[in-house]
Every structure is written in structure tokens, then in C-alpha cells.
Amino acid sequence: MITGVGLGPGDPDLLTLKAVKLLKEADRVYIPGGLARRLVEPYCDPVELPFPMSHNEDMIRDQIRQNAEAIAAEARERNIVFAIIGDPNIFSTFSRLSVIMQEQYPDITIRTVPGISSITALMSETGLPITGGFCVTDGSGIRSQIRMKVRKPREIAESLREDGYSRFALVERMYMEGMQVLHGDEIPENSSYFSLLYAERDV
């Protein structure tokens, strides 16, 4: 198994309790660079893998394939953690690694543990809370959106289909009793106030 663990925005005090627990329990911890090292070293002895900062997409993908091969050799039998600054599912190196792992090593279980992202940290540092809809982008086209407090998820999904969205997931009562994760046709007519709907389209 390989677990992508978010380390938060860089403050050691903003690691989650779960992140610290996983770092301590892992058979091996991999990191993508020096920024992560200072956060994880109090809990483990990490192995740094090269991830080039380059615009050469072929070189980047080749290096990620090599990293995936190195990790796969252990991940079938051992508890492997890949620790990354921020959150492993938001504009992260781990997301790209996961795609290649799933393509080449589909027998290896991959999961993620969220970290405090730079998006939420930004609002704390600026003192400017978000009180309405907002957009986050790396400069590329808007591919996905998240709706919060969704009470009529199927109705919203059908409306979004008209705008080209085709992939949907609903999480109801996340990390609470009765939590459900539903995809596609499973999405119900009604849901709890504590629900988030994810929608994605091809750009």
C-alpha cells in the first residue's frame, strides 16, 4: 500500500495528528524534496526522490515512471508513505505519481490523507475569509468544481451535465457517522446539509 500524506502549508505545527501517526508507523517514507524533509524528519528518516522542476513534459513523466518503479518494489508488501507539502489531491506531485502507479501497477492499493492546503492557509494569513463561490486555478482551464451544502444533488448534477460536466461524486456527512461516498448514478435526489458534490468535465 502507498499512502499520499499531506503535510500542510509548511508550518510544523499544522501537520495533522493522522499525518504524524502515519509518518511514525510507515515502513518507508518518501518525499519529493527538501521542503518536506524538515517537516517529516522529527518522525522518520525519509528517502528523497527526484521530481524535476521543468517544462519538459517528457523528462518529467520519465522521472515519475522511475520513481513509481522504485516505490512499487516495496509497496506490494510494505506500508509506504509519500509525504508532500500541502494536500496530496490538489495540484500535487502525488496526483501525477498516482496516475502512473494505477496504469503500471494496478494491484497496488493507493490512498490519500488530506493536509491543510495553501488555499485555506492563504485565507488565515490574509484575514480575508471566503463567504461566497470562488475559483482556484493554476492558469489552465476550469475542469472541475465543488458544490457545498448540497441538498438536491441529483438536480444540480443534471444541471451541470448541460454545461459539459460528466463525472460526479457526492460525499455526505464526511468523517461523521453515516458517511457515504456516492458516484454517478448512485447520487440521490436528496442529501444532508453536510454534503459536497464534485463535478468534473473534459477541458
Domain-embedded: residue 127 = no
Do residues 161 and 65 share a domain? no
| Nearest residue to 2 (alpha-carbon basis) of 115, 110, 114 | 110
Do residues 98 and 160 share a domain? no
- Write the pLDDT tens digit of every residue in 139-169: 888 999 999 999 999 999 999 999 999 999 9
Quote the number of domains for the chain.
Answer: 2
Domain-embedded: residue 134 = no
The structure's pTM equals 0.89
Do residues 20 and 101 share a domain? yes
DSSP codes joined into one string, 146-174: EEES-S-HHHHHHHHHTTT--EEEEEEST
Query: Looking at residue 135, what is its pLDDT?
Result: 92
Range of the domain at 33: 2-119
Asked if pLDDT for residue 73 goes beyond 80, the answer is yes
